[in-house]
Amino acid sequence: MEKFNTHTGLVVPLDVANVDTDQIIPKQFLQKTERVGFGVHLFHDSRYLDHDGTQENPDFVINKPEYKGASILLAGENFGCGSSREHAPWALQEYGFKVILASSFADIFYGNCINVGLLPIKLSEAEIEQLFKLSPDAQLTLTVDLPNNTVTCGELSFKFSLNEFQQYSLENGVDSVGWTLDKLDTIKAFEAKMPAWQ
């Protein structure tokens, strides 16, 4: 996993609550055995007018010229609800997103983002509201500083927090499997004490 330090990028506002993983990446695109090839299908049903995805929907916010190249997604509450498909964060990442801002995320999706190195940031409802108000007219550019846990934009600055180990893992690009494998003796000792039925 790549290390995450600071990131400055353009914000695209997707002001819809409860965006589920079926909307982020519909099931017909889950039939791959690799981790790549999902970005072009991100938000497929909203992003394209036709089933085959050849005609962009000009009204969908991500397609608007002023948001081309955005790398920070400003999202509505309960973002990523629904399935456990890691294809959702893969698709967001491959499209070019590095950070997602929302007032709340679904649990599994949140964990999946951390595991792939896409930074999910929870801000308060009021802070998210403030950013939504700023973004439509202005080309809002934000700087996310992970080591200092801040999101800044000119005068504005918000604090966010991550769980200690998740923060460490993102900053250092930890191979989480390798990390745990280093503790194999502890795991084996645990197994030795388990009841027979388990």
Task: Give the nearest distance from C-beta 73 to other proteins in angstroms.
Answer: 18
Task: Give the nearest distance from C-beta 89 to other proteins in angstroms.
Answer: 8
Beta strands in the chain (DSSP E): 6-14, 72-75, 99-102, 119-122, 141-145, 150-153, 156-159
Task: Give the nearest distance from C-beta 188 to other proteins in angstroms.
Answer: 10
Query: Given the complex with other proteins, which of 55 and 186 has the nearer CB atom?
Result: 186
Query: Given the complex with other proteins, which of 142 and 170 has the nearer CB atom?
Result: 170
CA atoms within 13 A on the CB side of 170: 27
Query: Given the complex with other proteins, which of 59 and 196 has the nearer CB atom?
Result: 196
Task: Give the nearest distance from C-beta 20 to other proteins in angstroms.
Answer: 5
Task: Give the nearest distance from C-beta 126 to other proteins in angstroms.
Answer: 14
Closest-CA residue to 91 (of 170, 15, 29): 29
Closest-CA residue to 7 (of 151, 160, 177, 127): 151
Query: Given the complex with other proteins, which of 108 and 134 has the nearer CB atom?
Result: 108
The whole-angstrom distance between residue 129's C-alpha and the CA centroid of its chain comes to 19
Q: Which residue has the tokens 């914000």?
A: 11
Binding residues vs other proteins (CB under 8 A): 16-18, 20, 22-23, 26-28, 30-35, 45, 51, 76-78, 81-86, 89, 104, 106-108, 111-112, 115-116, 163-166, 168, 176-178, 180-181, 183-184, 186-187, 190-191, 194-198
Query: Given the complex with other proteins, which of 8 and 117 has the nearer CB atom?
Result: 117
